[in-house]
Each structure stands twice: as structure tokens, then as C-alpha cells.
Amino acid sequence: MHINQMRYFVTLCNCGSFSKAAELLFISQPAISKQITALEQELGVQLLERRKGVKVQITRSGELYYQTFHQILENLEETAFKTKYTSPATKRIYKIGIMEGWMMHNYIHICNKDLSQVFTDVELNFEFLSPSRLNILKDNGQLDFILLIDPAFENTKDYIKEPIACIHSLLYTAINHPAVENGMINLKKLDPHIYILSGREVIHINLPQIKTLLYPSVPIFKEVMSINSILMNVLSGNGSAIADEWSIPRYSDRFSAFVLSSTEIPVVFARKNVEDSSFYLMYQYLLDKFQKWVDEIPPLTH
């Protein structure tokens, strides 16, 4: 019994005809028929019922062998894949760029936790970078995957992007701020000084909504360059901040937050546009772990 005989039989069963199987396997119909007949003789059972003008029918014995052969071929393909990437000479390093400021270190932990069980000798390299830097590295082909808000992603044919989530902008303040009552922000008592990330959040927040929420106070926006600056200012009691929901740990008992429901921002996961099955498997792996990370985040509340 040969591997090709099993492959011919499985393909024939999937197609239902010798002509289609021959086309997929790039061999002649007589050659397939000869190999299937030899396989039946070796096994001592009839695998197929052949009647002229009728679609090939698989026998009961053939069904059992089909399941067995199908599993053997799948195992061989999986083993071949793993073997290919266990050699140090073929070690692969995937580079993933994530928008800076997002509190996604637990996502990285989730990805690395199961990595060796799924991919042998594969390394993940995560970097938190500004949107402009992510786009520069993307244009140079230096990133395999990118996680970024859609408005900041500059489209290119070299990458395929997929919408994976929508996030809100949130209005934050310290839990001990005078405007926080019973854990909730009383917007009418909120300090009008609001910290935002320079060159990013202003584009997406709904300024009229903010003005309406704080009325009669007039919001005063102060641009800062990092999430750490926002945290220090807010926790020291100097006003409030606006940032997207992944930028500040809303589950922390040190903050109170108000969801700006009209400022939903789409998030995309982009991958290089390459024909590589292992590359796509890694992409699916990263997406699955992303969904697991999202599922573990506490729900937003006003």
C-alpha cells in the first residue's frame, strides 16, 4: 500500500468521479483506476461500486477505509508542517506592530502561552508603536501583522486588513475626584481641563458631545504625548482625560469612566498579502488569541 493510493482514493471519494479526480491530481483516469483496483486487491475488499453512467458509490468497507486514510493523510500533512519549522535553520520570527498606548500586555501573554504547543520554533516579536511609525514600517514591509485603529491605517495593496472590533472613547477621571459620586462621574461638576493624546484622539472624539456634556463649563483640551502623562495628571487630581477604552485600564479601581457612545472607532488587524499557508495559520492564531483577550475584558459601564 502506498501513500499515493490512499490520496487517490480519498480524492476520488471527495470528487465522486474519476474524471474530476484525475483533473485535480494531474494524472490520467486509467492510472487512477489501476491504482484503486490494486488497492482493493491488496486490502481484499471492494471499496467502490462502479457502474457506467452513474456517479461512483463508496461501499461500507470503503467508508471505513476513507475515514482511516483521510486521518492518516491529515496527520502526515501536520507532521510535515511541524518538521519543516523545527529546524533552527528555518526558524520564523513574526513581527507584530500594535498601536502604542493600548494596555494589551495580557494579549501578548496569551499569545506566547500556547505558542510552543501549536508552532514549534516560532517566535513572536511584539512592538508598541505610534500610528505614523506603524505605517512607515508597513510601507517598508518590516511588519508581518498590524493592530491599529482603522482611521490611522493607510491602505496599501501589500497588506490585507480585517475589521475585528469597535472601541469607544471614554472620559476618565480619578475615583477620588470631587466630581465622582458613588463611583459615577457627575459631568456637571467635572473640571473642564481635559487631557488628550496629541494628534490622535482629537480626530475621533465628538467635540460637540463633549461640550454638551460639560455645559455650562467650556472644555479646555490639553495635548500630551503619552498615556503615562495622562495617568499622572489624572491621578494627581488635575482634571480628566479622553482616551480610547484600551488605553487606560478601565477595570482599575483608581478611575471612573464615562462612555462617549457616539465616538465608536473601528479597529483592524492587518497582515501581509502573501501566499503562505503557515503565515495564514499564524494570522488565525493571533486572531483567536485576540478574541480570547477581548472576551476577558470587563464590560464597559457608564
> Read out DSSP for 283-301?
HHHHHHHHHHHHHTSPPP-
pLDDT band at 7, cuts 50/70/90? confident
pLDDT tens profile 110-137: 999 889 888 888 899 999 888 888 999 9
Helix, strand or coil for residue 92?
Answer: strand
Helix axes 29-43, 3-15, angle to 10 degrees: 110
Residue type, 96: I
- φ, ψ at 71 (rounded to 5°): -65, -40
For residue 113, report the phi and psi dihedrals to the nearest 5 degrees.
Answer: -60, -45
Confidence class for position 81, pLDDT limits 50, 70, 90: low
Average the pLDDT over 269-290 and give the result. 93
Phi, psi of 88 (to 5 degrees): -55, -30
Q: Give the confidence band of 143 by pLDDT, cuts at 50, 70, 90.
A: very high
**pLDDT(107) > 50:** yes
Mean per-residue pLDDT of the chain: 82
- For residue range 187-235, list pLDDT tens digits in order: 888 878 888 876 554 555 666 778 888 888 888 888 776 677 777 778 7
What would you report as the CA-atom Rg of the chain, rounded to the nearest whole angstrom?
Answer: 29
pLDDT band at 251 (very low <50, low <70, confident <90, very high): very low
Q: What is the pLDDT of residue 219?
A: 84
For 107, the enclosing helix (H) or strand (E) is: helix 105-113
CA-based nearest residue to 267, from 291, 297, 284, 241: 291
Give the CA dihedral 105, 110, 116, 120, nearest 10 degrees.
-70
Cα separation of 222 and 241, whole Å? 9
Beta bridge partners of 184: 181
Predicted structure pTM score: 0.61
What is residue 249's predicted lDDT score, i.e. its pLDDT? 59
Q: What is the DSSP letter of 166?
A: E
Query: Using CA atoms, how far apart are residues 3 and 58, in angstroms rounded to an integer?
Result: 19
Q: Worst-scoring range by mean pLDDT, 19-33, 107-121, 264-278?
A: 19-33
Mean pLDDT, range 172-186, rounded to an integer: 85
The whole-number pLDDT of residue 159 equals 95
Element (H, E) at 203: helix 201-204
Q: What does the chain come to in residues?
A: 302
pLDDT band at 272 (very low <50, low <70, confident <90, very high): very high
